[in-house]
Amino acid sequence: MTHRDQRDYDVIIWGGSSFVGKIVAEYFANTQKVNGLKWTIAGRNEERLQKTKDELVKIDGKLSSLELIIGDGEKRTTLDAFTKRTKVVLATVGPYAKTGEVLVASCLDNKTDYCDLTGETAWVRKLIDRHHEEAEKNGVLILNCCGADSVPSDIGALFMVDHCKKNNVVCDEVKGYYTSSNGGVSGGTVASIVDVFEQGKTREMSNSHLLNPRSTMPNLHPGPNDQLLPYWDEDNKMWTAPFVMSPCNTRIARRTAALLGKNSGFGSHYNYTETLGTKSFFIAALVSFFTITFGVLLLVSPTRWLIRKIIPAGSGPSKKSMESGYWNMEFVAKGKSSDGKPVKFHGTGSGKKDPGYGDTSAMISEIAMFMAKNRDKCAKGGVVTPGAALGTSLLPHLANANIKFAVTN
């Protein structure tokens, strides 16, 4: 095994011909003309990878020499052949519970950092239980949920806690509100959501502290249930409703808090919650109704079959749709000053592209690039979150992709 600094590549994009993988590769092609990281794409099908490469050459003619790496996600030897050649593997192929286990094991054994786009928290829990101690001991970073699930929530909440700390306020709570967005959905994302219901993981995922360290769980106060009904939020003066990805985002943000602890500004009973925010009770009620109804329908196998038929694997929004997308969040951080007085700060987060694909690709790309170029500024290792691994050091890199966070009061 070669030392990290002597490897052939800084980043290898696994699933380079998948719907998201192609967008990630295009992001690398556009940004690495200047930054100069060594990177390439890998996957199962050489013909499909070649088609991706042909599109990349249109962006940068120098990519005509790009090596295409062929591997099989179920054959460990083919994965070892390339994981030992790179500092970071960026994985874009899901459902990760079905396709990711062997790749993660290969990265661990070859001391290669790993990041992915999963929103499958039950699988992340399995990775933590199986591999966290080994990864921490061997100095390997395994980062999950590095896209729209759950970077805006995780890094946004950490940003607000850091602002509290700078103002000598111990943060007890951060609330996140998705207030507006425009974006599409791909077959890969749908497959991951359907797979959760198919495997009967919904009960496990309802654990509000699912991803926290096992050692802290007995001492945690009962966490909040995920919101299902309309609720008036007095802190932000708006109606709130369930947000579809909060069961993933909140668990990631809570794990960040549990890993970083009090020295990073988190109060002993800190909590992060997340909802969809609106000025209209009618919209909040409508969202609640559809969320509950859709969740019930997904419990039935004919519904899951129909959804897979309507949105098949490999499908996704058009490039024009992704370019015209956007997302906006608001945050409220609450805590106490040194003299015990309650303090409240408001903040925002935003992106200028489709959150699930355009900005998701930028987020995971910037995370992989950061790990490759700034490994000494990252956590030593472990199955951890983007916030716990990279912290607020990631903020200026996200800003390069017009993904920005700000305090508004």
| Top CATH class, 4-147+361-388 | alpha beta
Residue 200: predicted pLDDT: 58
Measured CA to CA, the distance from residue 246 to residue 278 in angstroms comes to 16
Residue 201: predicted pLDDT: 60
Q: Which of 131, 48, 40 is nearest to 85 (CA)?
A: 40
Measured CA to CA, the distance from residue 90 to residue 361 in angstroms comes to 11
Read off the tokens for 265.
């500004």
- Side by side, the strands of the sheet bearing 9-14 are 68-70, 39-43, 9-14, 86-91, 113-116, 141-143, 382-384
Read off the tokens for 90.
């960026």
Q: What is the pLDDT along the chain (409 residues), one digit of tens a residue?
A: 556 778 999 999 999 999 899 999 999 999 987 567 999 999 999 999 999 999 999 999 999 999 999 999 889 999 999 999 999 999 998 889 888 999 999 999 999 999 999 999 999 999 999 999 999 999 999 999 999 999 999 999 999 999 999 999 999 999 999 999 987 765 556 666 776 676 656 666 778 899 999 877 666 655 667 899 999 999 999 999 999 899 999 999 999 999 998 888 999 889 999 999 999 999 999 999 999 998 888 888 888 888 777 777 666 677 777 778 999 999 999 999 988 899 999 999 999 999 988 999 999 999 999 999 999 999 999 999 999 999 999 999 999 999 999 999 9
Measured CA to CA, the distance from residue 243 to residue 183 in angstroms comes to 15
E runs forming strands in 225-287: 231-233, 238-241, 266-278
Q: How far is CA 285 from the centre of its chain?
A: 28
Parallel/antiparallel/unpaired status of strands 169-182 and 231-233: unpaired
Measured CA to CA, the distance from residue 21 to residue 24 in angstroms comes to 5
Q: Which of 87, 134, 117, 171 is nearest to 369 (CA)?
A: 87
First vs last C-alpha separation in the chain: 51
Q: DSSP characters for 138-203?
A: HT-EEE---BTTBHHHHHHHHHHHHHHHHTTEEEEEEEEEEEEEE----HHHHHHHHHHHHTT-HH
Parallel/antiparallel/unpaired status of strands 342-351 and 404-407: antiparallel
Give the list of residues 6+ apart from residue 291 with CB closer than 8 angstroms, or none: 228, 241, 242, 244
Residue 196: predicted pLDDT: 67
Measured CA to CA, the distance from residue 409 to residue 163 in angstroms comes to 11
CA distances from 325 to 12, 185, 279, 339 (A): 27, 12, 21, 44
Give the list of residues 6+ apart from residue 286 with CB closer than 8 angstroms, or none: none
The DSSP call for residue 226 is: P
The DSSP call for residue 225 is: P
| Amino acid letter, residue 207 | N
Question: By the 8 A CB rule, do 227 and 208 touch?
Answer: no
Residue 226: predicted pLDDT: 86
Question: What does pTM read for this prediction?
Answer: 0.92
Question: Tokens 């991951």, residue?
Answer: 192
